[in-house]
């Protein structure tokens, strides 16, 4: 049932604020059993807003044309589809799960907005050695969206009391301001260590139901460690704490799940790289 409708009903019935809070909290747990006051529709709307801003900013985000680079998009689509259809993505049917390739070979980055809009830089695709490593990174970013980390981050940043006042209609205009601030920072959003760990775990779970090595993300970190880049000024690393220390945690999760860790590593990954500008 829609949370805003529940609020309207209990306000009209004269229920006390204390009981109102109990009802709101009870009805605000998502599919991952996390307390989130924003609805899934709010995630979808916010993601669409951010995606529109990204698409319109061609200077900062030079997105490759989908028709001109259809081969590259088809290849990326197969990887994303494999993850989304793993049976482990909670919001598979609710979120957009659209993907774009950003042309910047100097950036090793990928990110996903609330609502499932995924962006991958050509620099990351070309840097990685295997498709399994890319699948692991994509699984991590999809995990951020699927676990609704953007909305949970908003609650941590602004506090439940403020968000409740917005839902109760006591602070008009504030929600739009907050949404604008969040939209402006999502690309380089720094999640907590706990959120990063959750996204890593979900990447393993997603890939465990695919043909890829379920610890594909650790392969990315191992490559970084071997090249001595753990402390380098890399965008994706600067927004993800202690990247190289997470190798053991990802591999441990794979051992716990007992999933395949041998890489699929299709030969077509090199063709994927060559299809990019």
Q: Which domain covers residue 59, as residue numbers?
A: 40-149+187-274
Domain presence at residue 7: no
- pLDDT score for 264: 95
Whole-prediction pTM value?
A: 0.82
pLDDT 10s digits, 103-114: 999 988 898 888
Is the pLDDT at 75 greater than 80? The verdict is: yes
Domain presence at residue 26: no
Task: Give the pair of three-digit tokens for residue 21.
Answer: 């809070």
- pLDDT score for 37: 67
Q: Using 50, 70 and 90 to split pLDDT, how confident is the model at 61?
A: very high
What would the mean pLDDT of 194-198 be, rounded to a whole number? 89
The total of structural domains in the chain comes to 1
Q: Using 50, 70 and 90 to split pLDDT, how confident is the model at 274?
A: very high
Q: Which segment of 114-128, 148-162, 248-262 scores lowest on mean pLDDT?
A: 148-162
Domain presence at residue 2: no
More confident site: 147 or 229: 147
Q: How far is CA 227 from CA 50, 74, 138, 142, 244, in A?
A: 34, 30, 21, 26, 11
Domain presence at residue 260: yes
More confident site: 73 or 166: 73
- pLDDT score for 41: 81
What would the mean pLDDT of 148-161 be, rounded to a whole number? 71
Task: Give the pair of three-digit tokens for residue 202.
Answer: 């979900």
- pLDDT score for 130: 97
State the DSSP string of 8-41.
HHHHHTT--HHHHHHHHHHT-B-TTS-B-SS-HH
- pLDDT score for 18: 41
Q: Using 50, 70 and 90 to split pLDDT, how confident is the model at 190?
A: low
- pLDDT score for 23: 43
Cβ neighbours for 225, distance < 8 A, ≥ 6 positions apart: 244, 247
Is the pLDDT at 228 greater than 70? The verdict is: yes
Is the pLDDT at 87 greater than 50? The verdict is: yes
pLDDT 10s digits, 165-188: 555 455 555 555 555 555 555 555
Domain presence at residue 1: no
221 close to 244: Cβ distance less than 8 angstroms: yes
- pLDDT score for 242: 62
pLDDT 10s digits, 37-49: 677 887 887 788 7
pLDDT 10s digits, 93-105: 999 999 999 999 9
- Out of 8-12, 40-44, 252-256, give the one with best mean pLDDT: 252-256
pLDDT 10s digits, 17-44: 444 444 444 445 667 767 666 778 878 8
How far is Cα 97 from Cα 197, in angstroms, rounded to an integer?
22
Domain presence at residue 59: yes
Domain presence at residue 46: yes
**% of the chain at pLDDT higher than 90:** 49
Domain presence at residue 140: yes
- pLDDT score for 70: 98
State the DSSP string of 210-268.
SSS-TTHHHHHHHHHHHTT-TTS--HHHHTSSSGGGGHHHHHHHHHHHT---S----TH
């Amino acid at each position: 049932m829609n949370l805003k409708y529940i609020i309207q009903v209990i306000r009209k019935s004269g229920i006390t604020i204390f009981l109102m809070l109990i009802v709101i909290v009870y009805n605000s747990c998502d599919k991952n059993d996390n307390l989130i006051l924003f609805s899934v529709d709010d995630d979808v709307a916010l993601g669409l807003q951010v995606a529109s801003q990204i698409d319109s900013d061609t200077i900062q985000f030079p997105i490759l044309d989908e028709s001109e680079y259809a081969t590259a998009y088809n290849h990326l689509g197969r990887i994303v589809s494999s993850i989304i259809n793993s049976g482990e993505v909670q919001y598979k049917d609710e979120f957009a799960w659209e993907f774009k390739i950003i042309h910047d070979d100097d950036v090793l980055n990928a990110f996903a907005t609330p609502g499932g809009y995924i962006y991958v830089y050509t620099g990351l695709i070309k840097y990685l050695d295997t498709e399994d490593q890319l699948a692991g990174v994509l699984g991590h970013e999809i995990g951020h969206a699927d676990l609704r980390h953007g909305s949970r981050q908003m609650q941590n940043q602004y506090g439940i009391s403020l968000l409740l006042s917005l839902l109760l209609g006591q602070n008009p205009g504030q929600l739009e301001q907050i949404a604008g601030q969040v939209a402006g920072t999502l690309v380089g959003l720094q999640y907590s260590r706990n959120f990063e760990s959750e996204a890593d775990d979900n990447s393993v779970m997603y890939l465990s139901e695919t043909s890829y090595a379920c610890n594909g993300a650790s392969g990315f970190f191992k490559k970084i460690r071997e090249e001595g880049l753990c402390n380098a000024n890399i965008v994706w690393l600067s927004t993800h704490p202690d990247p190289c220390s997470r190798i053991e945690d990802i591999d441990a999760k794979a051992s716990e799940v007992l999933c395949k860790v041998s890489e699929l590593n299709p030969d077509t990954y090199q063709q994927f790289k060559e299809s990019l500008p």
